A and B are shown apart, each in its own frame.
Chain A
Amino acid sequence: MNELVPLLAGFSGVLDIWVLLAIFAGVLIGLVVGAMPGLGPLIGIVLLTPFAAALQPVTGMTLLIAVYVGGSSGGAVSAILLRIPGTPLAAATMLDGAPMAAKGEVGRALGLAVGASALGGLLGGLFLVALAPLLAEAALNFGPPEYFALCVLGLLSIAAVSFGSGVKGLIVGLVGFLLTSVGIDRFSGAERFTFGMDALLGGINLVPIVVGLFAVSEVLVQLGARAQTNSPITAARVSFAGLIEALGLGRTILRAGTIGTFMGALPGVGGAISSFVAYGVERTASRDTDSFGTGNPRGVIAAESANNACCGGTLVPSMALGIPGDGTSAILIGALILLGYYPGPNLFSDAPDVVGGIFAGYLLANIALLALGALLVPVLVRILRVPQSYLLPVVLLLAATGTYALQGAVFDLWVMMGFGLLGYGLRRGGFPLPPLVIGAILGPLCEENFRRSLLISGGDLGIFVERPISLAALILATGALAIIVMPTRWRARLTPSSAKGPK
């Protein structure tokens, strides 16, 4: 707990004007991309990563985390107004939010969603501040076998909860692992898979990979598709009474927020599943179960609190262990690495100001969400009416500019295009994309600790089952593997139908 003091000192760093501006800009951008079906917080973060890389570490990370917070909430706007969740995270919000809108309670539903999102996010933030340093302290005792086992568990868990076939998730994750083998081997200094190209000596940069996979492939998918989002509601504003009502339903927020946080901390579960679980628990706990799905305010609150609290939960293993819980946190880890900091237990002792700044930024982003969400909904309603045909060129231009600007390298643009094509192919083949990014983040950690373990044991694989934590992680990984090879129809019963999707 000694680490907590410098961590709290880092909180003062967010009082910098640029950090505060980044929080407001991030939440604003997050709300916009979250509200627009087809974009979502992930693409917002992907597009802004090159911008963030040019900023101070705390400012850059706060910007991206604020996009995550705003985007997780923005999806509720289109879920309530259009019956289309802007992001899969808001699918559960739609169940009661859209019926409320149909009954003429648009403002109340939006107020509940914004209030619950902000409070759920704050709860997740408090858990993050309390739990991440404890986990980091415990992780200081982990050796290479434990880290290797946790990496294997992380990848297999994410593949296991991928939509459709788990084997597909694993395949994509393994491709991510392979990508990290390109470049100079950190142990022996040998060149691997560079084909004599100097540009590949340092490995493949993560930014062109994620920009291509998510942003360019999204443009390719949407090109020519007859996607149009015409809202029947042309004007709406957040009802202040709805906000107050959300604040009054503290027990629901506490229950759903706790579920969201803990499910977010589990690899691969993510906001969509946690919001459905919280919704289900709230429905079961209610005396009036029949009213759920017909416009019950508690349904909106449970779903929104859980999906925003999940952001905080996801950041716990990401920051403390360097092991991402989902695709979005994998990109956040990638951004932190780009800024020169490697997430993991040592980060808490080496750079507590940065960790504290990130935590404080996350908490402030949720407070900003309350204010901006309430004020900006009328603007979001207008933005929802902007045709996609004007949006796609700007997304592509931002993607290309950001990718080039990162290193001033034309080669990165070719990489981005290649991964755009790969992402499009994977999506058409029904493969999930996030495991690839998670594989690309976990790959170096996994290889390094695998080889270190073998060096310690003199090549004996028994080292992985001799230590209790590593053994426990490998037993859990075996369970995840069993789910992966389970027939698809059995797995489908384990996953909420609306939570499935490529993002």
Chain B
Amino acid sequence: MTQQVETGSSPRGEGVVLAALSLLGVAVLAQIFFVMRPAGQASGDAFSNSGLFPGLVAAVLLLCVALRGLALIKEAGAQDPTELEALGPRIACLAVLAGFTLALPWLGYILTAFALTVAMLWLCGVRRLWPILALSTAAPLAIWGVFQHILNVILPFGRLWGALLG
């Protein structure tokens, strides 16, 4: 009857993360040695050496990633392969967020928030029209009201409407 959301880890997921973080560590060191040092920003004493602390952190990060990577190689054989999650809804969710971000300055808050809520409700499996319309209208208006009238934070009206209305 009840089921908790599965957030268990997978060796493949961990491997991808470790690979990405090792790239991050290498990129930081490369930036320090090939960009900051020639510019004189990563040398000298503790005051002038801007690369000292991030360089140390990146080196320790790479060491830890290597340690964990070795352990993962040992553990991988003993673990059952975890079922890969469906990535479709997650990618669609990020696409919706990207659309919201791109459209927000042009179409304004109310319209983009309405579209985001509709799209997310659809992604979450809601298919009944009235709940979709009700929540997609009420939630953006309520949040807009709180920000605009209680917190005095101005949310974008939309450049497009500004241009159209002169």
B130 CB, nearest partner CB in chain A, Å: 12
Q: Is A420's CB within 8 Å of the partner chain B? A: yes
Q: Is A365's CB within 8 Å of the partner chain B? A: no
Cβ-defined contact, B100 with A178, below 8 A: no
Q: Considering only CB atoms, which chain A residue lies closest to B17 in the complex?
A: A429
Q: Is A490's CB within 8 Å of the partner chain B? A: no
Residues of A within 8 Å of B156, CB to CB, are 408
Cβ-defined contact, A171 with B65, below 8 A: yes
Q: Is A84's CB within 8 Å of the partner chain B? A: yes
* Interface-side segment among A105-113, A278-286, A369-377, A448-456: A448-456
A139 to B116, CA, bound (A): 48
Q: Is A485's CB within 8 Å of the partner chain B? A: yes
Cβ-defined contact, A424 with B50, below 8 A: no
- From known contacts A227-B5, A393-B124, infer whether A193 and B21 are also in contact, taking CB-CB under 8 Å: no
A182 to B88, CA, bound (A): 33
Task: Indicate which residue in B61, B88, B89, B120 contacts A171 across the interface (CB closer than 8 Å).
Answer: B61
B14 CB, nearest partner CB in chain A, Å: 4
Q: How many residues of B contact A (CB 8 A)?
A: 80
Cβ-defined contact, A392 with B31, below 8 A: no
A25 CB, nearest partner CB in chain B, Å: 11
Q: Considering only CB atoms, which chain B residue lies closest to A502 in the complex?
A: B7
B162 CB, nearest partner CB in chain A, Å: 15
A73 to B48, CA, bound (A): 49
Q: Is A389's CB within 8 Å of the partner chain B? A: yes
Q: Is A397's CB within 8 Å of the partner chain B? A: yes
Q: Considering only CB atoms, which chain A residue lies closest to B119 in the complex?
A: A393
Cβ-defined contact, A55 with B151, below 8 A: yes
Cβ-defined contact, B64 with A451, below 8 A: no
A428 to B87, CA, bound (A): 12
- From known contacts A174-B57, A187-B47, A485-B67, infer whether A393 and B104 are also in contact, taking CB-CB under 8 Å: no
Q: Which of A37, A171, A414, A420 has the most CB of B within 10 A?
A: A171
Cβ proximity bits B41-60 to A, threshold 8 Å, 1 near / 0 not: 10001111111111001101
Q: Which of B28, B68, B131, B154 has the most CB of A within 10 A?
A: B68
Cβ-defined contact, B101 with A451, below 8 A: no
Q: Considering only CB atoms, which chain A residue lies closest to B90 in the complex?
A: A220
Which residues between 73 and 121 of chain B lie within 8 Å of chain A, taking CB atoms? Answer: 85-86, 88-90, 93-94, 97-98, 100-101, 104-105, 109, 113, 116-117, 120-121
Q: Is A2's CB within 8 Å of the partner chain B? A: no
Cβ-defined contact, A175 with B61, below 8 A: yes
B144 CB, nearest partner CB in chain A, Å: 8
Residues of B within 8 Å of A488, CB to CB, are 71
Which residues between 121 and 155 of chain B lie within 8 Å of chain A, taking CB atoms? Answer: 121, 123-126, 131, 135-136, 139-140, 143, 146-147, 151-155
A54 to B146, CA, bound (A): 11
A389 to B5, CA, bound (A): 13
Q: Is A421's CB within 8 Å of the partner chain B? A: yes
- From known contacts A420-B94, A455-B47, infer whether A401 and B155 are also in contact, taking CB-CB under 8 Å: yes
Residues of B within 8 Å of A425, CB to CB, are 13, 16-17, 20
Cβ-defined contact, B17 with A426, below 8 A: yes
Cβ-defined contact, B50 with A174, below 8 A: no
Q: Considering only CB atoms, which chain A residue lies closest to B52 in the complex?
A: A451
Residues of B within 8 Å of A394, CB to CB, are 117, 135, 139
A404 to B123, CA, bound (A): 23
Cβ-defined contact, A168 with B68, below 8 A: yes
Cβ-defined contact, B94 with A398, below 8 A: no
Cβ-defined contact, B9 with A430, below 8 A: yes
Cβ proximity bits A201-238 to B, threshold 8 Å, 1 near / 0 not: 00000000000000010011111111111101000000
Q: How many residues of A contact B (CB 8 A)?
A: 79
Cβ-defined contact, B46 with A396, below 8 A: no
Cβ-defined contact, B2 with A228, below 8 A: yes
Q: Is A459's CB within 8 Å of the partner chain B? A: yes
Cβ-defined contact, A167 with B28, below 8 A: no
Cβ proximity bits A55-74 to B, threshold 8 Å, 1 near / 0 not: 10000000000000000000
Residues of B within 8 Å of A454, CB to CB, are 45-46
- From known contacts A230-B1, A431-B17, A447-B53, infer whether A167 and B90 are also in contact, taking CB-CB under 8 Å: no
A401 to B100, CA, bound (A): 10
Task: Indicate which residue in B57, B89, B140 contacts A397 across the interface (CB closer than 8 Å).
Answer: B140
Q: Is A410's CB within 8 Å of the partner chain B? A: yes
Residues of B within 8 Å of A188, CB to CB, are 41, 47-50
Cβ-defined contact, A428 with B120, below 8 A: no
Residues of B within 8 Å of A502, CB to CB, are 7
B160 CB, nearest partner CB in chain A, Å: 15
Residues of B within 8 Å of A174, CB to CB, are 57, 60-61, 64
Task: Indicate which residue in B2, B120, B155 contacts A230 across the interface (CB closer than 8 Å).
Answer: B2
Cβ-defined contact, B143 with A429, below 8 A: no
Which residues between 386 and 445 of chain A lie within 8 Å of chain B, taking CB atoms? Answer: 388-390, 392-394, 396-398, 400-401, 404-405, 408, 410, 413-414, 417, 420-421, 424-431
Cβ-defined contact, B131 with A430, below 8 A: no
Q: Identify the A interface with B (CB < 8 A).
A: 37-38, 51, 54-55, 82-84, 164-165, 167-168, 170-171, 174-175, 177-178, 181, 185, 187-188, 190, 192-193, 216, 219-230, 232, 388-390, 392-394, 396-398, 400-401, 404-405, 408, 410, 413-414, 417, 420-421, 424-431, 446-447, 450-452, 454-455, 459, 485, 488, 501-502
List 27 A-B residue pairs with CB atoms under 8 Å apart, sorted by A's residue number. A38-B5, A51-B146, A82-B2, A83-B2, A171-B64, A174-B64, A181-B54, A187-B48, A188-B41, A230-B2, A393-B116, A393-B136, A393-B139, A394-B139, A396-B116, A397-B139, A401-B143, A405-B147, A405-B155, A410-B104, A417-B97, A421-B94, A428-B85, A429-B18, A447-B53, A450-B46, A485-B67
Given contacts A400-B100, A428-B10, A428-B85, 4 further A-B contacts (CB under 8 A): A192-B50, A230-B2, A414-B101, A428-B14
List the 7 closest pairs (A to B, CB-CB), nearest first: A430-B9, A393-B120, A428-B13, A389-B124, A454-B46, A429-B14, A429-B17
